[in-house]
Amino acid sequence: MSDLKLKCSGSKIYFKNREDAALKLIDILPIDSMKREDWIVVAASYGGYSIAKVIAEKLRAQAKILFTEKVMAPNNDECEIAIVTESEEVVIHEELARSFDLSLDFIFSKSKYVYDSMILNKLSKFRSGERITNIKDKNILLVDEGLNTGLTMMACIKTAINLGAKSVSVAIPILPNASIQTIESIADDLYYVKSLDHFISIDYYYESLEEITFENIKNIKDK
């Protein structure tokens, strides 16, 4: 890309902000052919919600968010061992689980605690307690601001499949090359602007990536 700028430590900035990322995704999506069918654009995170809204407007589609939470390793609040979604789908980082010698019973028990204490509260405030609806027999485009481990996106894909989606595609501004095969193995299509062999973190490749909170997405929803 000719408009790339260098960030500190020599990293490359590929996107000015989330809106810029959304517009770059629109450039690579087959928008005209997609418009021939009905789509629901689903954000896989708070940060992906504003991107999903921009793409949904272009597709004349609904924009939704699928709530997820990380399940962290014992005594390590920076290491995610699993993701639980609002439909109670649990995807486990098996390698990490083995390295911590964690049983499936422990992981599922902790996932249930995270679901009950965190996700249900958000569902109550955002959708009056209802889980995501209208997925069955619909084309789903899952969107996020980028992928780090890819665990959250895998959980979202599996959730959409298990809820009966007609098709499940993924649109991501930037991701590690190592995640491509994993996502493509279960998604119908994968669209991305940039992939990297040596991936640092999502915010490293944005000029500005402000933190998005639950309250922020409630405000975006109401606009």
Return d(Cα 183, Cα 175) in angstroms, integer: 11
Per the listing, tokens 């569902």 go with 123
- Residues 29 and 55 sit within 8 Å (Cβ to Cβ): yes
Number of H helices, E strands in the chain: 9, 10
User: Does the domain made of 5-66+132-222 have the CATH classification 3.40.630.10?
Assistant: no
Residues 82-93: tens digit of each pLDDT:
999 999 999 999
C-alpha 147/C-alpha 139 separation (Å) is 21
* pLDDT level of residue 2 (50, 70, 90 thresholds): very low
User: By CB neighbour count within 10 A (0-12 exposed, 13-18 middle, 19+ buried), where does 17 fall?
Assistant: middle
What confidence score (pLDDT) does residue 77 get?
82
Domain-by-domain residue ranges, the chain?
5-66+132-222, 69-127
Q: Which tokens hold the place of 102?
A: 């964690």
Q: In the prediction, which pLDDT does 8 show? A: 46
Task: Return the closest-CA partner of residue 61 out of 33, 26, 34.
Answer: 34
This prediction has a pTM of 0.92
